[in-house]
Amino acid sequence: MSGPLVETRDVEKRFDLGGYFWQQDKPVVRALNGVSIAIEKGESFCLVGESGCGKSTLARCIMGLLDLSEGEVFYKGEQIDRLSAKAMMPYRRRMQMIFQNPYASLNPRMTIQKTLEEPLRFHFPEMKNGEVRDKVEEVMTSVGNDPAWGTRYPHEFSGGQRQRISIARALMVDPDFVVADEPISALDVSIQAQVLNVMMDARDSRDLTYLFITHDLSVVRHFGTRVGVMYLGALCELAQTKTLFDTPRHPYTQVLLNAIPKLSTTELIHTPMMGEVPTAIKLPSGCVFHPRCPYANERCSREVPAGTTLDDGTVVACHAVEENRI
């Protein structure tokens, strides 16, 4: 296959925040402002960035769970963002999602067995009961879960156990592409390592491609092939994982890397980023990061920086980098 498995081109997403119909400027959340990424087959593409920067929104746009305001989404070269529910069906099977919240994503009134059987029965109604049960057992075992959990209910499991059940559910229908939205952020370190291993094994044995959303950069380092750093609905840096950690180029990436919590014997000293916490309702002009950026100049406040491709392939949207000021 040539070309990326999944691609977004200049995706924009706006949410209307109600308001009254006679109002001139109804509040609008500009959640995505022209995001283009291309995910190659076999990649573990990571998206990182501050809460509210649009990571989940981008994921939901890709999955067809939200209508785009502008732009296009492609799957194996086919445009999928304007498909009818029926035409979208085959893609719904090939693209699965693991959610941020292992508490809300499992139906509390359904046994684990039922939860796992449901997607199979939906996408493969012709499957026999015995085959369905075998498949559940195979997938549960492959992610390190005891198939005997089947008779129990979600509330009987701790967060980590539930998330491994969610992973199993996503893998039930043999997807090609899995979007994992903060799949391990609610889990302990040693369990995070295990779930990451489960996801990596599944990638290799089931030929998966991941879009992995997280705010934990230390996880990205272990898991990601490439990383996209987002800020306020825009992509500010896109690089190979190692390159990003060795030489973060965008000022925001540098702030992010510095904020990783470290084991220490002294109290947390926190130097807040300068400037107001930004909002996607009143988007800053020019570079959206400029009110908080120590390198900002007049051009930054006026002109939206376009992505510049550096020698090592890194794409950075920053005037200061482009002008060789940093």
Query: Which residues make up the interface to ligand ATP (CB under 6 A)?
Result: 15, 17, 29, 31, 51-57, 155-160, 188, 215, 280
Cα separation, 67 vs 300, in Å, equals: 31
| Closer to ligand SF4 by Cβ: residue 132 or 283 | 283
Q: What single-letter amino acid sits at 154?
A: P
The entry of Mg ion, other proteins, ligand SF4, none near residue 245 (CB within 5 to 8 angstroms by kind) is other proteins
CB-side neighbour CA atoms (13 Å) of 172: 30
Q: Assess contact for 167 and 98: CB atoms under 8 A.
A: yes
The entry of ligand ATP, Mg ion, ligand SF4, none near residue 57 (CB within 5 to 8 angstroms by kind) is ligand ATP
Q: What single-letter amino acid sits at 61?
A: C
Cα separation, 104 vs 102, in Å, equals: 6
**Taking CB under 5 A as the rule, which mask of x and - marks residues 40-79 in contact with Mg ion?**
----------------x-----------------------
Q: Which stretch binds ligand SF4 (CB under 6 A): 14-22, 102-110, 169-177, 286-294?
A: 286-294
| Closer to Mg ion by Cβ: residue 135 or 162 | 162
Cα separation, 301 vs 298, in Å, equals: 5
Residue 87 contacts other proteins per CB under 8 A: no
Indicate left, alpha or beta for 19 from its phi (over 0: left) and psi (-120 to 50: alpha).
left
User: Residues of 80-116 as b/e, b for ≥16 C-beta within 10 angstroms?
Assistant: bbebeeeeeeebbbbbbbbbbebeebbeeeeebbebb
Position of minimal CB gap to Mg ion:
56
DSSP string, 160-184: HHHHHHHHHHHHTT--SEEEEESTT
The entry of other proteins, ligand ATP, ligand SF4, none near residue 27 (CB within 5 to 8 angstroms by kind) is other proteins
Smallest distance, ligand ATP to C-beta of residue 111, A:
14
Smallest distance, other proteins to C-beta of residue 28, A:
12
**Taking CB under 8 A as the rule, which mask of x and - marks residues 157-176 in contact with other proteins?**
-xxxx---------------
Cα separation, 71 vs 80, in Å, equals: 11
Output the six-digit token pair for 65.
């769970």
| Closer to other proteins by Cβ: residue 205 or 266 | 266
Q: How far is C-alpha 247 from the geometric centre of its chain's CA atoms?
A: 23
Which residue is it, tokens 């939860």?
A: 115
| Closer to ligand SF4 by Cβ: residue 77 or 294 | 294
Q: Assess contact for 96 and 175: CB atoms under 8 A.
A: yes
Residue 162 contacts ligand SF4 per CB under 6 A: no
**Taking CB under 8 A as the rule, which mask of x and - marks residues 249-288 in contact with other proteins?**
------xx--xxxxxxxxxxxx-xx--xxxx-xx------
Output the six-digit token pair for 75.
């799957």
Which of 119, 223, 305, 315 is close enough to bind ligand SF4 by CB under 6 A? 305
Give the interface with Mg ion as residue ranges (CB under 5 A). Answer: 56
Give the interface with ligand SF4 as residue ranges (CB under 6 A). Answer: 250-251, 287, 289-290, 293, 295-296, 300, 305, 318-320
